[in-house]
Homo-oligomer: A and B are copies of this chain.
Amino acid sequence: MKEIERIKNDLVIANRILAREDVADAYGHVSARNPDDPRTFFISRSLAPELVTAVDIVELDLDGNPVGSESRPLYLERFIHGGIYEARPDVMAVVHAHAEDVLPFGIANGTRLRPVIHSGSFIGAHIPVWDIADRFGDTNLLVSSVEQGRDLARALADHNVALMRGHGFAAASRSLIEVVRMSVYLPRNARALRGARLLGGDIRSLSPGEIEARDREAYGPYSTATWRAWEYWANKCGCGDLLSRPQGKG
């Protein structure tokens, strides 16, 4: 399989995993930067992630315009992806979704979201909360322009995840498999932290050194540990037969 075809194929798996793992519902989207042209990225046309197949993947430039001719409706919030790719050359994949258990951390200011379980380490020590109202006032809360996408990207800065007040989150990573893993463990870490609050007492978060130690490990997309999760989730959502690896990563 050619690398571009393989990435589109992996985007289908990613969409289906996010739906199956309750990260996305009718809404939410995942994209991957074009490895051959950093100024474009691949993402589904406007469609619920559960229903995405390879023919639904379109190529957009960083302003959210289709690269080829494309008459099908696009995601309104494609500017989230363009804004982050523009600001962060290191980022190769982006997820935006509304995973339910993450939402309270963008609404209440009593508990800061941070990693408390090892699988949550990848969300990073600091998770900014972006409020669209700070700069744009009363809106429909959707990131519907290049300007708003850039503002969100500024709030994300060099972090891995930004919460979006009253709306959801944006996650960015150096690979598609890693951004999916981060998006699945983000709500799980949120539930563990909420549970810890319910039990009362002091809460022990991961230390900065622990977060760094995990980042230093080889948890790349084709490491034994990461592939185990990708393979599991792909099978769970009915995409086991779509699994593939790039040449030399077998």
Q: Which residue numbers of A lie inside 8 Å of B, CB to CB?
A: 25-27, 46-48, 50-51, 73, 76, 98, 100-101, 103-105, 107-111, 116-119, 121, 131, 133, 137-142, 165-167, 188, 191-207, 209-210, 212-214, 216-217, 224-225, 228-229, 231-233, 235-236
Contact between A210 and B108, CB atoms less than 8 A apart = no
Contact between A50 and B235, CB atoms less than 8 A apart = yes
Q: How far is the CB of A236 from chain B (nearest CB, A)?
A: 7
Q: Can you list 17 A-B pairs, Cβ within 8 angstroms, ordered by A? A: A25-B229, A26-B228, A48-B231, A48-B232, A51-B231, A100-B188, A101-B195, A107-B116, A108-B203, A108-B204, A109-B201, A117-B167, A118-B141, A138-B207, A140-B214, A166-B205, A198-B198
Contact between A119 and B27, CB atoms less than 8 A apart = yes
What's the Cα separation between A192 and B106 when bound, in Å? 10
When the two chains form the complex, which single residue of B51, B202, B229 contacts A48, counting CB atoms closer than 8 Å? B229
Across the interface, which residues of B come within 8 angstroms of A228, CB to CB?
A: 26-27, 46-48
Contact between A209 and B104, CB atoms less than 8 A apart = no
A-B pairs, top 3 by smallest CB distance, nearest first, are A110-B201, A110-B200, A138-B209
When the two chains form the complex, which single residue of B46, B138, B167, B192 contacts A107, counting CB atoms closer than 8 Å? B192
Across the interface, which residues of B come within 8 angstroms of A109, CB to CB?
A: 201-202, 204
Across the interface, which residues of B come within 8 angstroms of A166, CB to CB?
A: 116-118, 204-206, 210
Contact between A140 and B167, CB atoms less than 8 A apart = no
Contact between B100 and A140, CB atoms less than 8 A apart = no
When the two chains form the complex, which single residue of B108, B118, B192, B216 contacts A196, counting CB atoms closer than 8 Å? B108
Q: How far is the CB of A223 from chain B (nearest CB, A)?
A: 9
Closest to A236 in B: B50
When the two chains form the complex, which single residue of B104, B200, B212 contacts A108, counting CB atoms closer than 8 Å? B200
**A200-B111 CB under 8 A given contacts A117-B166, A207-B133:** yes
Q: How far is the CB of A74 from chain B (nearest CB, A)?
A: 9
Q: How far is the CB of A220 from chain B (nearest CB, A)?
A: 14
Contact between B101 and A199, CB atoms less than 8 A apart = no
Contact between B104 and A196, CB atoms less than 8 A apart = yes
What's the Cα separation between A206 and B164 when bound, in Å? 13
Closest to A208 in B: B138
What's the Cα separation between A165 and B193 when bound, in Å? 13
